């Protein structure tokens, strides 16, 4: 009955907790004193008149309004800015100039026929830009028209749109609403002006932040309280720093300091708080979130950059042809009139315009050069850019829709956030990966602990399993076999009969165990959520680690269930009575965790009045803070920590100290002064005060949590390694943890020589004790240089033994020196010669610097992949940034080029989509150059044939519509659908990927060979057509072919040839490709019929040319058939010879598939032999190394 009553009381307490206001902790009240020296100075000149937004003083300051605009254009600027964007491209600018010149007498064609294709191409791109910008505009309208309650006077609050807010307005924000501007918090539904804020839209973090208003305004709870409210805020000017704010409020003739604790940022959301009142201080584009919204770095693929160079090369050819042609034309024109004799009498050189005047031959040559530049412009593919954009958008849609990259558990598909880099996915040479949350799940499980020098926990980690598989001794997981094992608890994978179910009271150090789990239940910033129906407690925490600790404490009898304004409440097991009792701890201060402190502490007062400092942190900072009499278990705990790190676990040291009243009061005064300081070194002051109190600690023990490998990571790494991709891991974890994760995911293997670069040498440690920073830096620099040189010599010496593979492992302190200008090239040279590289204890900045070094030093394509805010610099620095949409928020995703849900999807993204996109875009661009050279060079040959008269071979509209209608759709289909091999074969033969890394499909050799093919095709088409029609009668009536007939016949042959060439080049036919290829040819004949039926004033020399002349003539059809076949013979022959005698890797795979040998072990082994390298990593390489060891030992035994 007592137990039942206790449970009922407990449930009632929980319900009350759920229904009542949940307070949080105070970290020191704001002092009325403060350093205001910066206020009013440069950078701190903003003055806000609270509740007086319409006053004269507020008006003359001209602050920005609260509307935001993310669009690239406005209605007034769209046309000029969009046109400028279009004509920044050299090809488009060239066509604009030729279009303008088309209105002069120099033009070899009509102006309309020149301008319309340009209008279509640029217009299509501008429409695309306009649609994208309109989508942004609609989003802006939606945001600007959100509604918020604003004080309109006399204590009345009414709804208005966000865009109407002004600096100084008082607003009332309700629960789960977004903040419309940057606000200073005045009061909330909690008595002490606390509120909880979610900042996911700002920094991607899902944990709640605590904010607190000034004590002096905390009593303003009712709307009516603001009828006469007046205050003046002086603060910093608008800036992008999300985590700092310096200001002061003058209220009732008193000054009060303001800090980030009072600042509520636009686009954050109010959570777990009924309402808040705030004053608007920054609006619109002055808000910190908008100040931070810089455009991501502009990235262009290497293929696209090379394409620009090819276009410049084509321009050179074009200018050369025009220049040479104009010289010949000038010479011929000068010789036209010789002593009254006229050579080209049909041009009437005796009575000619300047364009053919023998007396002004140099001027005629210059004008001809301009005409030729316009005429030969068809060498430049006008529709190339827009076609590539269309293709890349469609390719991105295929990536987004790939069901094999859809993560069902989280309902997250792959998302290509930009389409600019599709083909770059097929050229990645080096992957730089984060570890936590990227290779691992970032879903922590409490699995082991060391308390009072005794190790607890029977679980087996994945790293231990992997290492024992490596040694050939599989481990048995005791937890999995336990008959008493209940349903799994998220975050808790611990089992040890010695301390489970309250049995810890029988352990020799029961008091230490009690303090250990009590610390876990108190030292955190978790917010409890109590289910009203079941009474179960869940926790809102800042990190998965913290969640695992609180859950572990709960499961072992220390259940934290309530956080009040200045206290924490929990149920814990009383070792004397054996009952669960409620304990409340008064929360005095929280010393927060950050990456430089590497620890977190809370100061509490227990029910007996003792003041306790409870601290948890990294071993690198905690052991040095222990008191002399607090090191009783230090040696054993240190051993256990190393064992846990070897097992791939993340460890934290737990320690505490008891403070007397005087110690605490002295600390609290200094801590309050530091927190209330408005100087720039405020954070430094806080850290110094915290550092002094967090000493003389008594060690309790260590925690060990497992961050499991994501499903499929080892297999993915194995496939990527077989593809020849190098993989670097950049992590903030300890070296031992990183090394063991490396073994678990097959980046490291037995027999691989590990080169470890570190600064843990006795000499440097002695210097560190002496504290001479200059000497430490000098010695460290020399040590790193020596280690890198020695490692390079080892690599050089082992070059003869091909089986030896090396792994480079370096810590963060060493990396700082290795990345210096004098040493970074040595470091890079060493790293790229190693099979694996692991950088431990790396800061976010170091990750970005390593990425930049690899990208610039190798000149190869780099890909960075990460999931957290600390990976953003690395993602933006790499050629391609891949964001994992995992647990650590969305900041990495928001800064990435492509987002995926799991690391394993990288395999398909690169080896399938990357390979296809690279091949498609490369082939597409090469084909574009081919078809334009084929067409353009026939114009040049006709020019030569017509003594460079500037007369085109084809009708004006034939010229204009060639790129737009008759040859563009098949090439788009190629770029979207073509496959050299299927996805299954891409994954089965990863070495296919090396074609992209080595850029064999878009090398200058391949580009020039396609261009040569174009020149050969043009020559065959021109000479076969002209010779076939030159002398004999064209039809049964005896008529000979004129320019109209020759031009239409040649153009027909060109259309057939370029489309049939496409059919030969395609590896994978779909219905769409058939429709586009044969449809383009049919469209040409249809166009001839329709255009030829128009009046002669429109159709000019194409008037009824097909119906009356070409179609009835057998010679037209015979010439078309003969020329088309003859032109394709060279390409067909070359392809057949290459396929038979010099096959590329993808052609070998195609051949095996065609021969039906896909399951023949001998053929498969032969192909895979090509794909394996002696220094590769992964499970395949591990097996190969083991087989070599067995073979070598057998040989030695003989």
pLDDT at 1146 over 50: yes
Q: Cα angle at 16 between 13 and 20, to 5 degrees?
A: 140
Token pair of 1172 as six digits: 């394996």
**Mean of pLDDT values over 1026-1050:** 77
Nearest residue to 394 via CA among 897, 912, 975: 975
pLDDT at 515: 94
Token pair of 581 as six digits: 């009792």
Integer Cα distance of 5 and 1062 in angstroms: 83
Q: How confident is the model at residue 7 (pLDDT cuts 50, 70, 90)?
A: very low
pLDDT at 1099: 85
On whether the CB atoms of residues 526 and 539 are closer than 8 A, the answer is yes
On whether the CB atoms of residues 304 and 210 are closer than 8 A, the answer is no
Q: pLDDT tens digits, residue range 255-267?
A: 888 888 899 998 8
Q: Where are the beta strands (DSSP E) in 908-948?
A: none
pLDDT at 25 over 70: no
Which helix (H) or strand (E) segment is 42 a member of?
Answer: none
**Mean of pLDDT values over 773-788:** 88
Integer Cα distance of 61 and 369 in angstroms: 61
pLDDT at 31: 40
Strand partners, 526: none
pLDDT at 1026 over 60: yes
Integer Cα distance of 291 and 647 in angstroms: 44
More confident site: 94 or 1130: 1130
pLDDT at 11: 41
pLDDT at 5 over 70: no
**Mean of pLDDT values over 1097-1102:** 85
More confident site: 782 or 1: 782
Integer Cα distance of 648 and 741 in angstroms: 6
Integer Cα distance of 371 and 107 in angstroms: 6
Q: How confident is the model at residue 9 (pLDDT cuts 50, 70, 90)?
A: very low
pLDDT at 686: 84
Residue identified by tokens 């209330």 is 676
User: 985 phi and psi, to 5 degrees?
Assistant: -75, -30
Q: pLDDT tens digits, residue range 862-921?
A: 999 988 767 878 888 899 999 888 655 566 777 788 989 999 999 999 999 999 999 999
Integer Cα distance of 479 and 706 in angstroms: 15
**Mean of pLDDT values over 344-368:** 74
Distance, CA of 71 to chain centre:
22
**Mean of pLDDT values over 475-487:** 48
pLDDT at 947: 77
pTM across the whole model: 0.74
Say which range, 252-256, 527-531, 860-864, has the weakest mean pLDDT.
527-531
Residue identified by tokens 């042609």 is 325
Nearest residue to 376 via CA among 326, 307, 308: 326
**Mean of pLDDT values over 832-846:** 87
Q: How confident is the model at residue 29 (pLDDT cuts 50, 70, 90)?
A: very low
Q: How confident is the model at residue 1085 (pLDDT cuts 50, 70, 90)?
A: very high
Integer Cα distance of 822 and 827 in angstroms: 10
pLDDT at 566 over 70: yes
**Mean of pLDDT values over 1129-1143:** 88
Nearest residue to 582 via CA among 616, 556, 547, 606: 606
pLDDT at 1174 over 60: no
In three-state form (DSSP H/G/I as H, E/B as E, the rest C), the secondary structure along 725-748 is CEEEEECCCCHHHHHHHHHHCCCC
Per DSSP, 296 falls in state P
Integer Cα distance of 910 and 890 in angstroms: 22
Integer Cα distance of 233 and 249 in angstroms: 4
* Whole-number percent of the chain with pLDDT over 70: 85
pLDDT at 778 over 60: yes
pLDDT at 740: 72
pLDDT at 215 over 80: yes
More confident site: 487 or 435: 435
CA distances in angstroms from 331 to 324, 336, 346, listed in the order given: 11, 9, 17
Q: Angle, nearest 10°, between helix axes 361-375 and 915-945?
A: 150
Integer Cα distance of 865 and 257 in angstroms: 42
Nearest residue to 895 via CA among 909, 908, 916, 877: 877
Q: Which of 182, 267, 434, 619 is catalytic?
A: 434
More confident site: 1147 or 788: 788
338 is catalytic: no
pLDDT at 443: 74
On whether the CB atoms of residues 193 and 78 are closer than 8 A, the answer is no
Strand partners, 539: 528
User: 444 phi and psi, to 5 degrees?
Assistant: -80, 145
Token pair of 56 as six digits: 């004269």
pLDDT at 13: 35
- In this structure, how many other beta carbons lie within 10 angstroms of the beta carbon of residue 1150? 17
In a 3-state reduction of DSSP, which class is residue 1157?
Answer: coil
Nearest residue to 1149 via CA among 993, 973, 926, 917: 993
pLDDT at 844 over 90: no
**Mean of pLDDT values over 626-649:** 88
pLDDT at 538: 83
pLDDT at 8: 39
In a 3-state reduction of DSSP, which class is residue 1039?
Answer: coil
Please, how many CA atoms are within 13 Å of residue 1102, restricted to the half-sphere of its CB? 24
Which helix (H) or strand (E) segment is 1191 a member of?
Answer: helix 1179-1197
In a 3-state reduction of DSSP, which class is residue 653?
Answer: strand
In a 3-state reduction of DSSP, which class is residue 759?
Answer: coil
Per DSSP, 182 falls in state E
On whether the CB atoms of residues 849 and 269 are closer than 8 A, the answer is no
More confident site: 950 or 677: 950
Integer Cα distance of 226 and 570 in angstroms: 39
Integer Cα distance of 531 and 17 in angstroms: 10
Sequence-separated (6 or more) residues with CB below 8 Å from residue 66: 144, 162, 163, 164, 165, 166, 180, 181, 280, 283, 284
Q: How many residues does the chain have?
A: 1198
Sign of CA dihedral 483, 486, 491, 496: negative
Q: pLDDT tens digits, residue range 1049-1061?
A: 999 999 999 999 9
pLDDT at 1152 over 80: no
pLDDT at 520 over 80: yes
pLDDT at 434: 87
**Mean of pLDDT values over 1087-1110:** 88
pLDDT at 332: 79
On whether the CB atoms of residues 898 and 399 are closer than 8 A, the answer is yes
Average per-residue pLDDT in the chain? Answer: 83
pLDDT at 28: 40
Sequence-separated (6 or more) residues with CB below 8 Å from residue 313: none
* Whole-number percent of the chain with pLDDT over 90: 34
Integer Cα distance of 454 and 213 in angstroms: 46
Per DSSP, 162 falls in state G
Q: pLDDT tens digits, residue range 143-189?
A: 899 999 999 988 999 999 999 999 999 999 999 899 999 999 999 98
Q: pLDDT tens digits, residue range 388-441?
A: 888 998 999 999 999 999 998 888 899 888 888 889 999 999 999 988 778 877
Q: How confident is the model at residue 479 (pLDDT cuts 50, 70, 90)?
A: very low
Say which range, 291-305, 421-435, 1016-1030, has the weakest mean pLDDT.
291-305
More confident site: 441 or 134: 134
């Amino acid at each position: 009955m007592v137990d039942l009553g206790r449970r009922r009381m407990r449930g009632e307490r929980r319900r009350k907790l759920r229904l009542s206001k949940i307070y949080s902790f105070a970290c020191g009240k704001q002092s009325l004193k403060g350093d205001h020296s910066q206020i009013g100075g440069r950078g701190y000149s903003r003055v806000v008149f609270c509740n007086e937004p319409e006053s004269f003083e507020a008006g003359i300051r001209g602050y920005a309004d609260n509307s935001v605009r993310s669009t690239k254009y406005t209605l007034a600027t769209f046309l000029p800015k969009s046109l400028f964007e279009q004509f920044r491209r050299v090809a488009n600018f060239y066509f604009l100039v030729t279009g303008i010149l088309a209105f002069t007498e120099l033009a070899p064609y009509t102006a309309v026929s020149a301008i319309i294709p340009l209008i279509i191409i640029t217009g299509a791109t501008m429409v695309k830009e306009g649609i994208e910008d309109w989508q942004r505009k609609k989003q802006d309208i939606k945001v600007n028209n959100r509604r918020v309650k604003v004080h309109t006077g006399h204590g009345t609050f009414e709804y208005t749109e966000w865009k109407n807010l002004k600096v100084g307005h008082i607003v009332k924000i309700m629960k789960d609403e977004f903040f419309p501007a940057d606000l200073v918090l005045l009061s909330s539904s909690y008595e002490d002006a606390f509120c909880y804020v979610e900042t996911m839209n700002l920094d991607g973090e899902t944990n709640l932040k605590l904010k607190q208003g000034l004590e002096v305004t905390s009593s303003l709870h009712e709307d009516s309280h603001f009828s006469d409210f007046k205050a003046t805020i002086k603060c910093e000017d608008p800036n992008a720093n999300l985590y700092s704010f310096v200001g002061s409020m003058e209220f009732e003739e008193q000054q009060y300091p303001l800090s980030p604790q009072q600042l509520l940022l636009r686009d954050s959301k109010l959570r777990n708080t009924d309402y808040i009142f705030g004053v608007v201080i920054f609006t619109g584009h002055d808000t910190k979130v908008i100040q931070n919204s810089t455009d991501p770095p502009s990235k262009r693929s290497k293929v696209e950059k090379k394409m620009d160079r090819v276009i410049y090369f084509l321009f050179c050819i074009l200018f050369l042809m025009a220049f040479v042609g104009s010289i010949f034309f000038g010479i011929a024109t000068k010789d036209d009139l010789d002593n009254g004799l006229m050579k080209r009498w049909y041009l009437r050189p005796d009575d000619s315009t300047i364009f053919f005047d023998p007396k002004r031959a140099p001027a005629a040559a210059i004008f001809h050069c301009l005409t030729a530049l316009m005429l030969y412009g068809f060498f430049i593919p006008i529709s190339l850019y827009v076609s590539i954009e269309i293709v890349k958008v469609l390719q991105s849609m295929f990536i987004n829709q790939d069901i094999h990259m859809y993560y069902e558990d989280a309902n997250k598909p792959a998302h290509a956030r930009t389409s600019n880099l599709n083909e770059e996915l097929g050229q990645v040479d080096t992957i730089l990966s984060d570890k936590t949350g990227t290779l691992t799940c970032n879903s922590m499980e409490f699995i082991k602990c060391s308390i009072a020098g005794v190790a607890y926990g029977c679980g087996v980690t994945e790293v231990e399993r992997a290492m024992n598989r490596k040694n050939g001794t599989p481990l048995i997981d005791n937890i999995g076999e336990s008959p008493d094992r209940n349903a799994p608890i998220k975050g808790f994978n611990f089992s040890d009969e010695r301390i489970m179910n309250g049995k810890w009271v029988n352990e020799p150090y029961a008091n230490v165990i009690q303090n250990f789990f009590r610390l876990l239940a108190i030292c955190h910033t978790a917010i409890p959520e109590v289910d009203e129906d079941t009474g179960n407690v869940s926790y809102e925490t800042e990190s998965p680690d913290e969640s695992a600790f609180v859950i572990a404490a709960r499961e072992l009898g220390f259940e934290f269930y309530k956080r009040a304004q200045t206290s924490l409440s929990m149920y814990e097991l009383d070792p004397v009575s054996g009952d669960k009792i409620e304990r409340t701890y008064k929360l005095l201060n929280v010393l927060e965790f950050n990456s430089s402190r590497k620890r977190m502490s809370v100061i509490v007062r227990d029910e007996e009045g003792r003041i306790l400092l409870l601290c948890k942190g990294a071993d690198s900072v905690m052991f040095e803070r222990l008191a002399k009499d607090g090191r009783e278990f230090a040696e054993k705990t240190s051993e256990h920590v190393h064992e846990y790190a070897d097992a791939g676990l993340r460890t934290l040291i737990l320690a505490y100290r008891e403070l007397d009243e005087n110690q605490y009061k002295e600390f609290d005064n200094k801590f309050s002064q530091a927190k209330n300081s408005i100087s720039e070194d405020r954070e430094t002051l806080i850290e110094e005060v915290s550092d002094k109190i967090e000493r003389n600690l008594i060690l309790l023990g260590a925690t060990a949590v497992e961050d499991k490998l994501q499903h499929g990571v080892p297999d993915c790494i194995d496939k990527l390694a077989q593809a020849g991709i190098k993989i670097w891991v950049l992590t903030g974890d300890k070296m031992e943890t990183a090394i063991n994760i490396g073994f678990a995911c097959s980046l490291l293997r037995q027999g691989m020589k590990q080169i470890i670069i570190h600064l843990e040498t006795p000499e440097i440690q002695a210097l560190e004790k002496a504290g001479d920073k200059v000497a430490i830096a000098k010695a460290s620099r020399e040590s790193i240089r020596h280690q890198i040189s020695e490692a390079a010599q080892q690599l050089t010496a082992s070059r003869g033994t091909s089986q030896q593979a090396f792994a480079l492992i370096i810590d963060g302190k060493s990396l700082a020196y290795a990345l210096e200008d004098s040493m970074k090239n040595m470091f890079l040279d060493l790293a790229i010669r190693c099979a694996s590289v692991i950088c431990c204890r790396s800061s976010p900045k170091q990750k970005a610097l390593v990425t930049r070094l690899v990208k610039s030093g190798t000149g190869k394509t780099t890909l960075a992949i990460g999931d957290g805010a600390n990976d953003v610099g690395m993602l933006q620095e790499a050629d391609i940034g891949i964001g994992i949409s995992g647990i650590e928020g969305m900041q990495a995703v928001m800064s990435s080029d492509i987002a995926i849900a799991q690391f394993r999807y990288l395999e398909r993204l690169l080896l399938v989509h990357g390979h296809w996109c690279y091949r498609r875009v490369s082939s597409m661009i090469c084909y574009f150059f081919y078809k334009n050279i084929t067409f353009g060079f026939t114009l040049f040959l006709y020019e030569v044939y017509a003594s460079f008269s500037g007369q085109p071979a084809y009708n004006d509209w034939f010229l204009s519509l060639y790129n737009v209608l008759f040859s563009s759709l098949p090439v788009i289909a190629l770029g979207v659908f073509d496959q050299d091999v299927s996805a299954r074969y891409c994954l089965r033969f990863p070495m296919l990927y090396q074609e992209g890394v080595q850029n064999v499909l878009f090398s200058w050799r391949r580009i020039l060979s396609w261009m040569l093919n174009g020149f050969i095709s043009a020559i065959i088409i021109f000479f076969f057509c002209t010779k076939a029609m030159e002398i004999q009668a064209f039809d049964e009536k005896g008529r000979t072919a004129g320019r109209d007939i020759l031009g239409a016949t040649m153009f027909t042959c060109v259309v057939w040839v370029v489309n049939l060439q496409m059919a030969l080049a395609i590896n994978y036919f779909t219905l769409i490709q058939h429709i586009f290829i044969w449809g383009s040819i049919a469209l040409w004949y249809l166009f001839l019929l329709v255009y030829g039926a128009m009046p002669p004033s429109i159709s000019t020399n194409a008037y009824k040319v097909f119906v009356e002349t070409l179609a009835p003539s057998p010679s037209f059809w015979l010439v078309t058939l003969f020329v088309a076949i003859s032109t394709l013979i060279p390409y067909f022959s070359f392809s057949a010879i290459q396929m038979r005698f010099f096959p590329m890797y993808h052609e070998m795979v195609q051949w095996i598939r065609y021969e039906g040998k896909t399951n023949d072990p001998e053929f498969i082994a032969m192909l895979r032999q090509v794909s394996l390298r002696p220094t590769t990593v992964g499970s395949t390489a591990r097996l190969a190394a083991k087989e070599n060891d067995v073979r070598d030992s057998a040989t030695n035994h003989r």
